[in-house]
Each structure stands twice: as C-alpha cells, then as structure tokens.
Amino acid sequence: MGKSIVEKILAQHIVIGEAVKGTEVGIKIDQTLTQDATGTMAYLQFEAMGVPKVKTELSVSYVDHNTVQIGFENADDHKYLQSVAEKYGIVYSRAGNGICHQVQLERFGKPGKTLLGSDSHTPTGGGVGMLAIGAGGLDVAVAMAGGPFYLTYPKIIKINLTGKLRPWVAAKDIILKVLEIFTTKGNVGCVFEYGGSGVKTLSVPERATITNMGAECGVTTSVFPSDEITREFLIAQDRESDWTELLADDDAEYDKVIDINLSELVPLAATPHSPGNISTVRELGEIDVDQVCLGSCTNSSYKDMMTVARILADKKLHPNVSFVVAPGSKQVIENIIQDGGFASIVSAGARIAESACGFCIGNSQSPKTEAVSLRTSNRNFFGRSGTKSANAYLVSPETAAAAVITGKFTDPRDLEKLGIKYPEVKMPAKFHIDDSMFVFPGEDKKDVEIYRGPNIGDPPAAEPLKDKIAGVVTLKVEDKITTDHIIPAGSKMKYRSNVPKYSEFLFEVIDATFHDRAKELRDSGKDNIIVAGLSYGQGSSREHAALCPMYMGVKAVLAKSMERIHNANLINFGILPLNFKDQADYDKLEQSDALEISNIKEALVNNQNLKVKNLTKGTEFEATYILSDRQKEILIAGGTLAFMRKQQK
Ligand code: MIC
Ligand code: SF4
C-alpha cells in the first residue's frame, strides 16, 4: 500500500512506538521555534534541564509578540532571550525581523523535516511540506534538549482540491470553507493533507495561509506536497538546496477524503466570535466597517501585501475606516518597497504598524466601542481585539481591501463595477534577502551570562498528584472556551514571565472574581476544580493557560472534551484532565458544588474510571480520561519537569 505525505514524514521520525493510529508515538524533532510570549517560560524550563547546547538541527527564538514595550518588561524579556540564544546555540530573530511563522517559512522551512513551535500556528510550515506542530513551551524545551515529542498517531484526512480559484477569491476563502466543513471542534487527533490537481494552482504563501489556519479546526497539523512550486519558492529564497520532492503515493489511503472545487468558491468571512462561524461576504450585506487590519501570520506575505497594494493603487481610504497594515517580515517590507507596493499602501492612507503580531493579539490597535473590524488574521475570539464590545470578522486581503475603499462589507468581485481590475500578483523569481536581523550563534559561547531583569521570575513547581482531590467547582463554563478566555493576552501579555502577577487575570473575560475566589480556596487548603463543556482550551498553545491555574491550586479540569495542546499543557503542569463518562452529568453540576475524587492513583494504574462524589448534592458520577502510561507517570510525578528529574536519578 502506498503512503501519504504525513505517513512518509512520520515513518522517518518515529523513535518511540509504532505507526498505529490512535496510539502514542514519540517523534524526533529537527527544528524548533519559539516566540517571546511563550519563549521566556520555555527557556527558563530548558535552563532547568541542564543541557549545555540545543540538540536540534536548528532552533530559532523569535521576538514578535510583545514588542509594544510600554514599561521595562518586554525589553527585559528580549534581552533574556538573546542571552539564552547566544549561550545555547539558538538563532535569535530580533524584534523587527518579523512574525515567527512568516520568517521561518521564508528562511528555514524545509520539506520533509519536523518543526515543533511554542505557538499554535506553527503548522504554517506545512505550506512547504514540513510536519510542523504547535505545542506548549515545555514540550518545545524537551525537544531542544533532544527528547522526542509525543503525539497520538493521527487520522489523516485528505482534502482534495480541484479546479482553480476565480479572480477575487483567495486562499483565505479555501481555509474558511474548510472551517465551514469541519468547524472548530471535534478534530483532535487528525491531520489535514492537501492534494489533488488544485494544489499546483496555489503558491507557497497561499498554501501557508491554509495550513496556518488549520489550527482553528483543532487538527494536529496540515501539510501540502513539496513540488515544483515549492522548489520555485525556495529558489526565490536562495535556498534551492533545501528542496526535496515530497508527494503522496497514488495509492495512498486516507481515513477520509473531502473534495473542494476551487472554481466554485466565493469570498467568505468568519463572523463574531469564532473562526468557525462562516458566511459568504455577499450574505452579510453592506455592514458599515470601522477598522480594517491587514497582516498577522495568516495573511502578511509579499503576495498578500502586493495584491492589496495593487487594488488600492491611486485610491484613498474611506473616511470612516481606520486601516492598519502590518507586513509579515522585514523581507516582505523590503520587497514591497522595491516593487512599489509600499508606496501605494501608504498613499491610500494606511497606518503602518511594526512587522509583528500587533493587532492580531490585541496589544495594539484595539477598535472603538461596538466597532466592526475586518481582519485578515486567524482568530476573532470574544475580547481578543482588546475591545469586548467589538465585532471582529476574518476575511481575505481582497475583501479587506474592498472595505477600505467602500467603508462597507463588500464582496471584492463588486470592485470590478468600480473599474478596478483583479491584480494577478506573481511571486518574485528572487526575493531581496537580508539576514542581518538574525543573530546566529557563535562557536564557543560557554561563558555567556544570562540576563535576568526584574521581570524574569522562576516558573512555579507543580506538586505530585494527590490521591484525593477535595474541593469546589470554582468555575463552570460553556462549550468552546478558548485560551484567550482562560488567560488573556493583549495588554496583560507583558506579565508572561511573572506567573503570580499574570494569574490575577485568569478567566478575566468570563468572571473577574475567579482569581480571588480561587486564591481563598487554595489558601484554605481546598482544591480548585474547573468544569467545562465541549472543546475546552481551543486556540493558543500558551502553557500559561495551565501554569497559572496550577499556581492558583487548580487540580483537575472536568470537561466534555478538550483540545490537544491544552490537554498536553495540563498534564505537563500536573493538572488532571478528566472527561464526563455521561455528558448529562455536566448539566447536573453547579458552580460552588463541593466535589471529592478519591483513590486516584490506584484507578489510574488500573485503567479504571474515577468516581466523583458531589458532596453538595449527595450524588456520584464517573469521570473518564485518555492518558498514556507515560502521561500517568508524569501526572503522578507532578508534571514533566519533576518526571524528567526522576528519570535522570
Ligand atoms: C495566538 O495567536 O493566540 C498566540 C498569541 O500566538 C498564541 C501564543 C501565545 O499565547 O503566546 C498561539 O497561537 O499559540
Ligand atoms: Fe502572532 Fe496572531 Fe500569528 Fe498568533 S496568530 S502568531 S498573535 S500573528
């Protein structure tokens, strides 16, 4: 039987376990990336592992999230990261060089390799045929120390693309279509592999837009073949020697095949407050638009910027619209300057933002009260823009440009009526390349002193698993709670290196009393328990969504279902992830109910369900779990760092 691309890459990287679907395998990681908001904690944990140098082929530390620098905290973190990179043999990408996923794709992406990144949009690398996976910082630290990354051997879903996109319809519309089909929940343990005759009509940045936003479906990763188009992209990046062909065998078998005819797609939008709420732009009607944001790791490539620049050539923005543009990298900026695109964008009236995450993570450019904000980014979760009452829609660069001109939601195909022709932007045969914003590690850097400003605190240690969890349902939440609900980013992100301070904002957007209530319970010796609905922990890879609850004394999360990265983060920090055996028991639980779960270790070792006593209601129900033997040992030891220390003894 032939092999899929995913099977081929996995076969070359499995170091523990067998290629059996649904079982846990450990894979060798070739490359890692971190960004500053998750990176400081990842490197503090890496330092604790006592390894003299990273053991990967390549590890890169980016600074792209916390670049606002109001106060000393961000700059302290950057300096810490730079000194760690120098000491341990890591490439450091300075603030200003661009967004990690865009830059990694441009300068380091290699077909057939594995990439683990402490950011959920790491699958962007799938655009050049990498198996690129997002994970918590601690998992990335383990990979830098040479350890395997563990994942469930995935179900592989083929997305068969046929036809060709019509003018004004974009790669963003393809992934929004995929989101309409698969939604944002229920896809844990799957990988999307793209194939079919439509693949060759898509450039690498278009493919990367699609693999980037697979993260919103909750799949482990998404991957495209590596073909002639990939080769041309790597030639343009002066990296032809990094190219290898990587195609699925004709007789490869998949767990499921979905067909999408590109010729039939129309401009789409994700409506508030989920990337899975899909509508056609036409259906939305002429809603007035207050803000348009072009950029983020989804749509900030040369092609995206040049397309918008050509649409806006000789046009001015609508008086009611604030138009923010954040090109994805320094390389993108330099190339659109060279090709005249930058001038058109500036002349149209754009507010040029730094080449960084910026508006996407809500740490700048928060829109006005009740604003309608059109964004080319990947997440429109409640409150993420920094303005709770705002309505954020996710759209293609073409649809964004149309609204800049008309001030309303406009199907970009209607621009033809205004005499604007669809710009066919070609990829450059050679990009202007300048790697001077990377600091490459030197040969002998043993004596580098690590810089630790007052913003850098030690990560708190987890406690060994208790045999009895006795506490209270501190918070009961609904379906699809994202990590942005659990611990906000935006203006609070500067406290990422200070867990006690950052923990004050836990669940702030849902219930601002959570922190004080949890603290009181913790300090009186009671355990905090979170109860949740379906797909808990969607979104970011931020391990603070586990680390801060751990610090506040959360011992278990009882959910109808949980997303992959968050589930792994809970285990890494010694919090028990549990599911309801009977989902109806969720409805019977109330916030403040006193719960008791006893004989935990014995039940885990014997693969038995756990019995949960509701002391308030005088009832009992069963909780299940999906934990490998390795994960049980981690939990019993009190988290991954404690587990590793035990193994070293
Ligand atoms: C995001 O898009 O939510 C982030 C901010 O990039 C996160 C990482 C983080 O929280 O630091 C992600 O996607 O993993
Ligand atoms: Fe940055 Fe936004 Fe991409 Fe996250 S999704 S890495 S915040 S640009």
Q: What is the pLDDT of residues 481-500, one digit of tens each?
A: 999 999 999 999 999 999 99
Cα 483 to averaged position of ligand 1 atoms, centre (Å): 9
Average pLDDT over residues 319-348: 98
What's residue 309's pLDDT?
A: 98
- Measured from CB, residues less than 6 Å from any atom of ligand 1 are 37-38, 65, 119-121, 134, 361, 379, 489, 539-542
What's residue 446's pLDDT?
A: 65
Residue 361, ligand 2, Cβ within 6 A? yes
**379 Cα nearest atom in ligand 1:** 2
CATH number of 268-418: 3.30.499.10
Cα 37 to averaged position of ligand 1 atoms, centre (Å): 8
Q: Which residue carries 């960004």 as its tokens?
A: 35
pLDDT at 64 over 90: yes
Q: Which residue carries 């309303």 as its tokens?
A: 408
Residue 357, ligand 2, Cβ within 6 A? yes
**Strand bridging mode 527-532 / 24-27:** unpaired
- Number of helices (H) and strands (E) in the chain: give both, helices first: 22, 27
Average pLDDT over residues 454-483: 93
Q: Which residues, 6+ apart, have CB-to-CB distance to 485 below 8 Å?
A: 381, 382, 383, 477, 507, 509, 510
Q: Which residues, 6+ apart, have CB-to-CB distance to 86 below 8 Å?
A: 92, 439, 441, 442, 445, 448
Residue type, 185: K
What's residue 538's pLDDT?
A: 96
Pick the CATH number of 469-648 from 3.30.413.10, 3.40.50.620, 3.40.640.10, 3.20.19.10: 3.20.19.10
**CA max distance for the chain:** 73
What's residue 417's pLDDT?
A: 97
How does DSSP assign 446-475, residue by residue?
TTPPPP--TT--PPPPPPPPPS-EEEEEEE
- Report the percentage of the chain scoring pLDDT > 90: 96
For the chain, what is the mean pLDDT?
Answer: 97
Q: Which residue has the higher pLDDT, 646 or 549?
A: 549
* CA distance to 45, 461, 522, 525, 594, per residue, from 470 (Å): 30, 20, 11, 9, 8
Pocket test for ligand 1, best of 34, 67, 361 (most atoms within 8 A of CB): 361
Cα 526 to averaged position of ligand 1 atoms, centre (Å): 31
Residue type, 462: A
- Give the distance from CA 248 to its chain's centroid: 26
Q: Which protein residue has the closest C-alpha to ligand 2 atom 2? A: 360
Pocket test for ligand 2, best of 361, 482, 541 (most atoms within 8 A of CB): 361
133-156, pLDDT tens digit by residue?
Answer: 999 999 999 999 999 999 999 999
Report the residue count for the chain: 649
Residue 360, ligand 2, Cβ within 6 A? yes
Give the CA dihedral 543, 547, 548, 552, nearest 10 degrees: 160
pLDDT at 15 over 90: yes
| Residue 277, number of CB atoms within 10 A of its CB | 17
Distance CA 58, CA 63 (A): 17
Same fold, 5-264 and 469-648: no
* CA distance to 28, 41, 146, 336, per residue, from 32 (Å): 11, 15, 11, 29
Cα 443 to averaged position of ligand 2 atoms, centre (Å): 32
Average pLDDT over residues 107-121: 98
- 421 DSSP β-pair partners: none
| Residue 283, number of CB atoms within 10 A of its CB | 12
Peptide bond before 273: cis, by omega within 30 degrees of 0? yes
**119 Cα nearest atom in ligand 2:** 6
Which two tokens mark 43?
């490197």
What's residue 457's pLDDT?
A: 83
CB 331 within 8 A of CB 355: no
Residue type, 473: V
Cα 115 to averaged position of ligand 2 atoms, centre (Å): 17
What's residue 444's pLDDT?
A: 63
pLDDT at 30 over 90: yes
How does DSSP assign 540-598, residue by residue?
---THHHHHHHHTTEEEEEES-B-HHHHHHHHHTT-EEEEESSTHHHHH--TT-EEEE-
At residue 459 the predicted structure's pLDDT band, cuts being 50, 70 and 90, is confident
Residue type, 339: D
Which two tokens mark 478?
């609904």
What homologous superfamily does CATH list for 5-264? Aconitase, domain 3 (3.30.499.10)
229-282, pLDDT tens digit by residue?
Answer: 999 999 999 999 999 999 999 999 999 999 999 999 999 999 999 999 999 999
Cα-trace Rg, the chain: 24
Closest by CA to 17, choosing from 221, 188, 153, is 153
Q: Where are the domains of the chain?
A: 5-264, 268-418, 469-648
At residue 445 the predicted structure's pLDDT band, cuts being 50, 70 and 90, is low
**361 Cα nearest atom in ligand 1:** 5
Pocket test for ligand 1, best of 66, 121, 184, 298 (most atoms within 8 A of CB): 121
Distance CA 511, CA 502 (A): 15
Q: Is 64 exposed, middle or buried (0-12, 13-18, 19+ CB in 10 A)?
A: buried
At residue 462 the predicted structure's pLDDT band, cuts being 50, 70 and 90, is confident
3-state secondary structure of 167: coil
- Report the percentage of the chain scoring pLDDT > 70: 100
Q: Which protein residue has the closest C-alpha to ligand 1 atom 12? A: 540
Average pLDDT over residues 104-109: 98
Pocket test for ligand 2, best of 60, 67, 297, 364 (most atoms within 8 A of CB): 297
Residue 282 backbone phi and psi in degrees, to 5? -55, -50
Q: Which residues, 6+ apart, have CB-to-CB distance to 409 below 8 Å?
A: 269, 281, 284, 285, 286, 287, 289, 372, 374, 393, 399, 403
175-219, pLDDT tens digit by residue?
Answer: 999 999 999 999 999 999 999 999 999 999 999 999 999 999 999
Q: Which residues, 6+ apart, have CB-to-CB distance to 514 below 8 Å?
A: 474, 475, 506, 507, 508
Distance CA 576, CA 570 (A): 7
Distance CA 226, CA 228 (A): 7
